[in-house]
Structure formats: C-alpha cells, structure tokens
C-alpha cells in the first residue's frame, strides 16, 4: 500500500515515532541502573550486539566492578578478562579506563553537568575511544541532554525510507534535531524504538510485511 499523503519532514518523523510507539510501546531505555552503567555500556556496545554487552556487564557486576571509580582502579588485565564477551576487549578496556579517568578528573557527573551540551560533547569527543555515537549516548542517557543518537539501525531506516541521501552521522543527526522538538524524552524513546524496529522488522533482510512503517 502506498499512502498518497504529502508529509513535511517534521510530520513524517513524528508519524514514524507515533507508529513505532503505538506498535512497541515505551522501551524504558537506557537498560542500566546508574549513570556509570550507562557510560560503561555505551563504550562496551561499540561494534557489538547488546546481548554481548549484557554478558560483559554481568561479569563486571559479579566482580564488583560496575562503577567508573571501580573501572579506574581495577587491574587492566582483569578488566580485559571481564569484558571479553563484548569483543575488542584490549581496546575497550583502555577506552573504559580513559572515560572513567576523564569523568573522575573533571569532578564527576555533578561538575560536568554544569557544562553546556556543546562544551560537554566536545570534551567527551576528546577522550580516546569516545566517538560520536558513544558521546551522544552518554549525553542523552547519562546527562539527559536533548541530543539525537545515530547508530547503524538509524542509518538503515533513514536510507530505506529515503529520508536523506546524505547518510553521514552529522547529517542524520541534523535531520532529527532540526525537525523535531529538542526533547530528551522524545529522543530517548525514539532511538530505543528504532533499535527495536531494526531488531524485529528492519533487519539486514527487511521484513516489511506487517512492519509498523509499511507503506510509509
Ligand atoms: S522493514 Fe521495511 S517497512 Fe519496516 S522500516 Fe524496514 S524498510 Fe521500512
């Protein structure tokens, strides 16, 4: 079915959100109990599926290493061992330590929370191992800043629905942030719903039949 409706980009993005929300409901993201866990998960999830991250987090929890101060002090070899299920463990152990020291050396969350979103993003991006997606995940889910997180799933949906020809991170982020209200809850839920959509329907081989975005 093809809907012969002319949406503005804002209406289209809101229509997508409404359809996803209606189908999947609230996603309760980020799947973590503390801000520290959000940061740890945001690093561990680089280039791997979330179920691998869950195994690494379970190991960290069991070993009592699930805060950033624990990460900063723990022996690096032990850290590598604990996060092995998340892959790239040599790199990620280093990245986790970098981000843990960064937050610790800048007075922790209370102090960093006083920074503007722009400044904070710039600071996070200066940490080795923190790329745009990781920085934005930390900004949105740990610092509760209205920043849209773009991941491979977002690119896939944007591309398949021809929302933009330019599939660079910055352009996709701009697409959402310039056309939607800058709202933490909206961005939180939207990103989580796109992940759900990609896992259930918009897989490598898309299952368009019955997908909430079918015909859009
Ligand atoms: S599965 Fe098909 S209809 Fe659903 S989001 Fe992907 S491309 Fe669109």
- What residue's CA is closest to ligand 1, atom 2? 208
Quick: pLDDT tens for 96-133.
Answer: 999 999 999 999 999 999 999 999 999 999 999 999 99
CA 9 to chain CA mean position, Å: 23
Q: Ligand 1 centre and the CA of 30: distance in Å?
A: 24
Local confidence band at 2 (pLDDT 50, 70, 90 cut-offs): very low
Sequence-separated (6 or more) residues with CB below 8 Å from residue 163: 9, 12, 13, 157, 175
Read off the pTM: 0.94
pLDDT of 4 strictly over 70: no
**CB-based pocket (< 6 A), ligand 1:** 157, 160-161, 197, 201-202, 206-208, 211, 213-214
Cα separations (Å) of 9 from 1, 80, 82, 88, 109?
20, 44, 44, 38, 35
Burial 44-61 (b: 16+ CB within 10 A, else e): bbbeeeeebbbebbebbe
Sequence-separated (6 or more) residues with CB below 8 Å from residue 139: 117, 120, 121, 124, 145, 147
Quick: pLDDT tens for 5-46.
Answer: 568 999 999 999 999 999 999 999 988 889 999 999 999 999
Q: What is the CA radius of gyration of the chain?
A: 18
Q: Ligand 1 centre and the CA of 174: distance in Å?
A: 22
Q: What angle do CA 135, 139, 145 make, to 5 degrees?
A: 150
Quick: pLDDT tens for 124-171.
Answer: 999 999 999 999 999 999 999 999 999 999 999 999 999 999 999 999
Give the integer Cα–Cα distance in Å for 170 and 132. 9
Quick: pLDDT tens for 40-77.
Answer: 999 999 999 889 999 999 999 999 998 999 999 999 99
Please give the pLDDT value at position 212.
98
Contact 71, 97 (CB under 8 A): yes
Atom in ligand 1 nearest the alpha carbon of residue 215: 3
Atom in ligand 1 nearest the alpha carbon of residue 211: 4
- Six-digit token pair at 190? 């939207």
Give the integer Cα–Cα distance in Å for 173 and 182. 12
Atom in ligand 1 nearest the alpha carbon of residue 201: 1
- The conformational region for residue 162 under phi > 0 = left, psi -120 to 50 = alpha, else beta, is left
Atom in ligand 1 nearest the alpha carbon of residue 197: 5
Please give the pLDDT value at position 101.
97
């Amino acid at each position: 079915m093809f809907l012969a409706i002319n949406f503005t980009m804002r209406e289209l993005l809101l229509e997508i959100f409404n359809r996803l929300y209606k189908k999947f409901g609230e996603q309760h993201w980020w799947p973590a109990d503390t801000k520290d866990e959000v940061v740890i998960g945001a690093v561990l999830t680089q280039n791997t599926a979330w179920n691998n991250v869950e195994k690494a987090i379970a190991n960290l929890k069991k070993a009592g290493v699930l805060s950033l101060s624990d990460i900063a002090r723990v022996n690096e070899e032990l850290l590598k061992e604990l996060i092995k299920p998340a892959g790239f463990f040599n790199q990620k152990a280093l990245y986790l330590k970098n981000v843990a020291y960064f937050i610790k050396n800048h007075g922790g969350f209370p102090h960093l929370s006083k920074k503007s979103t722009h400044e904070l993003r710039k600071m996070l991006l200066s940490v080795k191992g923190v790329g745009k997606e990781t920085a934005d995940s930390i900004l949105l889910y740990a610092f509760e800043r209205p920043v849209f997180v773009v991941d491979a799933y977002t690119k896939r949906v944007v591309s398949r629905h021809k929302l933009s020809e330019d599939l660079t991170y910055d352009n996709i982020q701009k697409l959402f942030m310039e056309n939607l209200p800058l709202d933490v809850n909206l961005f939180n839920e939207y990103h989580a719903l796109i992940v759900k959509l990609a896992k259930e329907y918009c897989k490598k081989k898309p299952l368009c039949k019955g997908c909430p975005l079918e015909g859009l």
